[in-house]
Amino acid sequence: MGNLDPPGAPSRRFPQKPESVASARRFVRDVLDGIASDVVDTAELLVSELVTNAVVHARTEVEVSARALNGRVCVRVSDHRPSRGLVPHECPPYAGTGQGLALVEQLASRYGSDTDEKYKAVWFELWPDGPPPPPPSGWEAAVPPSSGETVTLVDVPDVLCSASQQHRHALLRELALAASAGDRLGVRPEELVAAHDMNNVISACVSAAMKKQPPDADIRSLPLSIPADATPAVVTLRRVLDVAEEAARDERLLTLPALPRARVFHDWLFDQIIDQLADERPTAWTVVPREPGAGSSELVPWDARHVQASRVPTIAADEGNRIIAANGPAADLLGWHPDDLVGRKLTTLIPEHLRNRHLSAFSSLLLTGQTRIVGRSVPLPAMHRDGHLVPVRLHIQTQETADGRTVFIGQLTPRAQASVHPSRGQGGGRREPEQEPVRLPRTAPERGMSTSGAKTSLSALERLSLLADTGVALSNTLDLDEGLHRAARILTQRLAGWCVVDLFTEHAQVERVCVVHRDPQALHPGVHEGSLPPVTEAARGPLARALRGAGPLLLTGPLPSAREESPLDAHYLELFAQLGANSAVVAPLRARREVFGALTLARVGGQPPFTEADLALVDDLVRGLALGVDNARLYQETRSIAERLQRSLLPVLPDIAHLQLAARYAASSTTAQVGGDWYDSFVVPNGDTALVIGDVSGHNLDAAIAMSQLRSMLRGIAIDRQEPPETVLRRLDMANHSLYREATATCVYGLVKGPAAGPWELTFSSAGHLPPLLTTADGDTRYLEEGAGLLLGMDPDMPRARARHTLPAHSTVLLYTDGLIERRGESLDRAMVRLRQHTAALAHEPLDVFCDELLIGLGADSADDIAVLAARPVPPS
């Protein structure tokens, strides 16, 4: 407390040992005997934190002095390493380390620090009563050396940087505690000291650079002043942290290991320091390649409003496996109200046969930092509130909260999603007469580039370039939402500050599908995508008029007040208030004489307002955009029809007491292809059970139609003729040849024979399909490669072979399509070995678990459709 420290205050010196923390607490309690207990407790807590800091970071003898004066407590903690300055930083409540100075700030009436050539001291006062204390004196923070080299970290995600810093401190603290107990975990004392010191230097540099950045930025570029000779210490810090991570994975430390994104961030951070000290150029974090689970989505700080505003079914869960946010589409998909889901365990939405698997995988992720499905698209079933299963593709990403926790964001894409196509009868082809624009007191137009980058006018070449680039943005992807966002980003970079796209759904509702601002950080939380109020007769505002065909409409002044009975007009007025628009153009999107949406372009702030001269350009833009949107929607509609056709043809499996059956179908994760995969199972009149799987070549509606024809013909031939499998396939090939001379397909047709008590036998024939895989209850695996023949559609007169194999009790015979195993750049032999390894590990699992685990483990990110059919003979109990 410097000159505030009363003369003669009792003091005591403590050695640089962990035991000194407890000794210092006892000393303070003895000195403050007779003071109010709550004040003494607070003093003990703060002394404990400050002595711990001195022992861990200063590593010198520690001196503690304490005194009570007029009921007020004065305490001072000093060490003999003034060169190791204080590193105060924001410390969220969930941080495991770094709470010392933050606690002093929160609990002390006054606090501060003193430094001279021989010592450094932190002091605080506690005033239980009396007049309000003056403002805190603040900390004299450590300042990075001005003589250091400048290392620039480009595009640093603020939240991830903070969380990673907390994790580094926690790992080093745990190593220090382990070392004090005699377990050094392979780290020498001098290495631990060097790692602590270098970590403190990096933290101090980052904290100093952060203070100079705009307070509302989430991604920053930070210039750090790093000592020129820091490379060896950074290398040591990296090695010590690697050792600590391994110890954490082995559960030898209390701290959990880092998740993949934090490990990648640390590698990037250390590489940047080492490389730039060697005169290499910086590499931005945003361009660093990352594996699934460490993707770029963690750049977005967690915000529950983003989940609620998303049009994709989305659910968020915390590290306790509890749902913390759910949006309307997800709740509707699973039969819940969003508020009813929040607070429930995530297992509420997981089928019972997968719950143990989920819990073990989730625990493994937290304990090891290793993930199987984060960052990947995985086909699996979710559980509806009424108990039935909903096939979805699950895509999980992780995000950081402002207080350092991890949130798991799951998007659930239905595997048989209805299409959204242009609405019928929404005033298509009818164009309202143009109205005079409403005039507004104009801001002074600027010349050249405005503050947002939009020019006051575009040259003829720039106009052509803008029209071409927006068209390419839509045509380069078959995903409508992605294409619209690409086009909107181009428009906001060259023409407007804001871009908003509203489209009709198939139920004549209006949905806001795209909201883009040139500066993503300026996106107002209330401006989000989602459903809009309906277009009623009372709606007469600009958006309603555009959705009826009027426009382009120029808006250059305050919009007329919305009529009370028109929620859509009121919503559009609110949008303009949130955008802060000084002008806008709203234009209808129409194709094939039908209006199916509207485009709004707005300029804000210092941008020059739109004028009537811009209307011709916007009119050309919406023509090109409308054509692209129409084509994308037609493609999505065609693909959805094919997928629904495939799913409608997937059969209900027969219920057979002595033969368990399970099947799964998952469309391509790319959502850009449909195929002709199918499975079937039925009982023929003689009592045998037929097993069928097949794949028509191609990925389009024709393939799906051919598949449906083949499936129906095969079932009819098999039931009518009751002939051996090779004969049934030959007759199917002849029928296929007469109907689809250019269609080729693979197929396996088999019959499971045998009484209820066994023995059982599989007789089958294969038309160019992958061989069935037999897995015994003991985990032995064998591909049944006999019975192979030509594809269907090649030569119907070619004789076909038959194979016969015994099926042991509780064994599993698996039929599957190539989408389950084939991967680009990998040999088929390697893929088939991997499938054998998976089925062997699942040999004892129930058949539903067996199939779901195969799709989770092998079907993630598959670019092809997947069908699997599994049969397991089970004798009567």
pLDDT tens per residue across span 656-697 = 989 999 999 887 765 445 567 889 999 999 999 999 999 988
Q: In this predicted structure, what is the pLDDT of residue 392?
A: 87
Strands (E), 227-301: none
What is the per-residue pLDDT across 463-480, written as a single tens digit (0 to 9) for each?
888 888 888 887 777 678
- Measured CA angle at 802 (ends 799, 806), to 5 deg: 175
Q: Write the Ramachandran bin of 519: left for phi over 0, alpha for psi from -120 to 50, otherwise beta.
A: beta
* Spatial separation of the C-alpha atoms in residues 877 and 875, rounded to whole Å: 6
Cα separation of 673 and 660, whole Å?
32
For residue 803, is pLDDT > 90? Answer: yes
Beta bridge partners of 77: 64, 122
What is the CA angle 47-53-58, rounded to 5? Answer: 125
Using alpha carbons, select from 817, 804, 811, 803 the residue that is nearest to residue 855.
817
Phi, psi of 644, rounded to the nearest 5 degrees: -65, -35
Q: Which of 201-210, 300-309, 532-541, 572-581 has the lowest mean pLDDT?
A: 300-309
Q: How far is CA 350 from CA 162, 394, 669, in A?
A: 33, 12, 20
Distance CA 366, CA 387 (A): 29
Q: What are the sequence ranges of the domains in the chain?
A: 2-126, 149-297, 301-414, 460-638, 650-873
The pLDDT of residue 837: 95
CA distance 501 to 488: 9
Provide the pairing of β-strand 788-789 with 760-767: parallel
Please give the structure tokens belonging to residue 150.
């400048």
> What DSSP letter does each residue of 758-813 carry, written as one string?
S-EEEEEEEESPPPPEEE-TTS-EEE--TTEEPPBTT-TTS----EEEEE-TT-EE
> Distance between CA atoms of 782 and 65, rounded to whole angstroms?
77
Q: What pLDDT is recorded for position 455?
A: 46
As a whole number of angstroms, the distance between CA 272 and CA 283 comes to 7
Contacting residues for 181 by C-beta, under 8 A, at least 6 apart: none
What is the amino acid identity at position 443? T
More confident position, 124 or 296: 124
CA pair distance 725, 718, nearest whole angstrom: 8
Q: What is the Rg, in whole angstroms, of the alpha carbon atoms belonging to the chain?
A: 34
Q: Give the whole-number percent of the chain exceeding pLDDT 70.
A: 83
Backbone φ/ψ region at 453: left (φ over 0), alpha (ψ -120 to 50), beta: left
User: Which has more confidence, 555 or 148?
Assistant: 555
Length of the chain: 877
Q: pLDDT value at position 92? A: 54
**Percent of all residues in the chain with a pLDDT value above 90, rounded to a whole number:** 28
Rounded to an integer, what distance in angstroms lies between the CA atom of residue 185 and that of residue 317?
A: 34
If residue 661 lies in a helix (H) or strand (E), which one and from where to where?
A: strand 659-666
d(CA 227, CA 119): 23
pLDDT at 428 > cutoff 50: no
- Tell me how far apart the alpha carbons of residues 213 and 521 are, in angstroms, rounded to a whole number: 14
Confidence of residue 206 (pLDDT cuts 50, 70, 90): confident
Over residues 447-470, mean pLDDT: 64
Residues contacting residue 44 through CB under 8 Å, at least 6 positions apart: 25, 28, 29
What does the alpha-carbon distance between residue 29 and residue 6 come to, in Å, rounded to a whole number?
18
Nearest CA to 139 among 48, 198, 194, 207? 207
- Dig out the tokens for 582 from the structure: 């000084």
Looking at 178-294, which runs of residues are DSSP E strands?
219-226
Across 434-438, 482-486, 559-563, which has the greatest mean pLDDT? 482-486
When pLDDT is cut at 50, 70 and 90, the band that residue 383 belongs to is very high
CA distance 801 to 764: 9
Tokens found for residue 507: 């139920």
527: confidence class by pLDDT, cuts 50, 70, 90: low
User: Which of 201-210, 271-280, 851-860 tops mean pLDDT?
Assistant: 271-280
For the domain made up of 650-873, the CATH class stated in words is: alpha beta
Query: Which DSSP category does 623 fall into?
Result: H
Residue-wise pLDDT tens digits, 618-644: 988 888 888 888 888 777 777 677 667
Mean pLDDT over residues 487-506, rounded? 88
Burial state string for 801-840 with b = 16 or more CB within 10 A and e = fewer than 16: ebbebebeebbbbbbbbbbbbbbeeeeeeebbeebbebbe
What is the CATH T-level fold of the domain 2-126, as seen in this structure?
Heat Shock Protein 90 (3.30.565)
Peptide bond between residue 552 and the one before it cis (omega within 30 degrees of 0) = yes
Q: Which two tokens stand for residue 590?
A: 């129409």
Domain 301-414 of CATH type 3.40.50.620? no
CATH number, domain 460-638: 3.30.450.40
Contacts of residue 283, defined as CB under 8 A and 6 or more positions apart, other chains included, come to 154, 268, 271, 272, 275
pLDDT band at 740 (very low <50, low <70, confident <90, very high): low
For residue 173, give the 3-state DSSP assignment.
helix
Domains 2-126 and 460-638 share a fold: no
